Amino acid sequence: MFKKCLFLAACLIFPLCVSAQESDLLNSETLILDVPTANVLDKYQASLLTRAYANGTIMESLDFGVIAQVNIGVSLAVYELVGSSDDIKVLDPDFQVKWKLFDGSLYFPAIAIGYDGRRYGYNRQTKKYLDDRKGGYITLTRELFTPGLHLSLGANLSDFNRHDIFAFTGMSWQIKDHFAFLAEWDNINNIRDSRFNLGANIFISPALTLTGAVRRIGRGSDNERVLQLRYVTNF
């Protein structure tokens, strides 16, 4: 019970601990949905991401721009927090870090490396996650053809003991000032285990984004609906 109360208190208190200044329009998304972009938060900028997904799970991710071009963050998820279950489980906390190596140029994409420990789709019976963590990764991002269309692609090493290399790619297309279309092909090592995700961003304000998405499209009962809210501010 103490862990549950602590988690909920953190969700409520964090927005009050940072200044509510307007941040830039979220055209520098650090994630599409699961695919990391080469973008980072500015120094002294903070992001609070609340994600609701399968089995009433809520994940909170806090990311900070601590120095120029470097972000660090921590994530914590609570399984079956939403719903009528009395058997709520606080999952292992994860952390993430990203370093932007190159801002990009007229001919070359922006480049970033990082580590993302977040995992999704927990199964209480097997006590395993449906998705491995992203782990160590390199990602490249570039605007293509038309303003607002950004493509990201890269590779990741989920488990340093297995040495299996996965690929990922994704795009975000901001069609209007308040709407963006999202598409990803993630976890590419073989077709069977790869994930295709589709979603959309609604920019409620320059600092607040609502995202709705479907993950693992075409995977039958493993399909997952996701709703998330992201707030970016300065501290």
Per-residue pLDDT reduced to its tens digit, 146-176: 888 999 999 999 877 777 899 999 999 998 7
Residues forming a β-bridge with 139: 112, 154
How far is 20 from 233, CA to CA, in rounded Å?
A: 6
Count of CB atoms situated within 10 Å of the CB of 86: 6
Residue 38, pLDDT above cutoff 60: yes
| pLDDT value of residue 26 | 44
How far is 49 from 151, CA to CA, in rounded Å?
A: 22
E strand segments, the chain: 45-53, 57-67, 70-79, 89-90, 94-102, 110-116, 122-123, 128-129, 135-143, 149-157, 165-176, 179-188, 195-205, 208-215, 224-234
CA 152 to chain centre: 14
Name the superfamily (CATH) of residues 2-19+33-234: monomeric porin ompg (2.40.160.40)
Note whether 198 and 214 are within 8 A (CB).
yes
Count of CB atoms situated within 10 Å of the CB of 216: 21
Residue 136, pLDDT above cutoff 50: yes
Mean pLDDT confidence for 33-58: 94
The encoded tokens of residue 28 equal 């520098």
- On average, the pLDDT of the chain sits at 86
Which 3 state secondary structure label does DSSP give 142?
Answer: strand
Q: Please name the residues in contact with 133: beta carbons below 8 A apart, sequence gap of 6 or more.
A: 94, 116, 117, 118, 119, 158
How far is 181 from 201, CA to CA, in rounded Å?
A: 6
| pLDDT value of residue 206 | 85
Residue 106, pLDDT above cutoff 90: no
Q: Please name the residues in contact with 181: beta carbons below 8 A apart, sequence gap of 6 or more.
A: 172, 173, 175, 200
Which 3 state secondary structure label does DSSP give 163?
Answer: coil
| pLDDT value of residue 28 | 63
Global pTM value: 0.85
| pLDDT value of residue 167 | 96
